[in-house]
Amino acid sequence: MNWDMISGQWKQLRGRAREAWGDITDDEWDRVAGQRDQMVGLIQSKYGKARAEAEDEVDRWSRGL
């Protein structure tokens, strides 16, 4: 699924993101609003990951949708 589609369907897909990254709050997911760069940055800071690692996780998640 491409990121335009993810952004457009964010309210429905947010639950699936929450399943993958359970430590992120609903308010934080609301701020992400389906934007890839914000999602990568949030996962990077929340979980202490390198940017490349967070990008890989987000890309794997989006391909699985």
Residues 1-19: tens digit of each pLDDT = 899 999 999 999 999 999 9
Percentage of residues in the chain having pLDDT higher than 70: 100
Give the pLDDT of residue 30: 95
What's residue 51's pLDDT?
A: 98
* Own/partner pairs, 13-21, CB within 8 angstroms, 24+ separation: 13/65, 16/61, 16/65, 17/61, 20/57, 20/61, 21/46, 21/47
What would the mean pLDDT of 22-38 be, rounded to a whole number? Answer: 96
Tokens representing 23?
């430590």
pTM over 0.85, yes/no: yes
**Four-point Cα dihedral 58, 60, 3, 15, nearest 10:** -70
Q: Give the pLDDT of residue 26.
A: 94
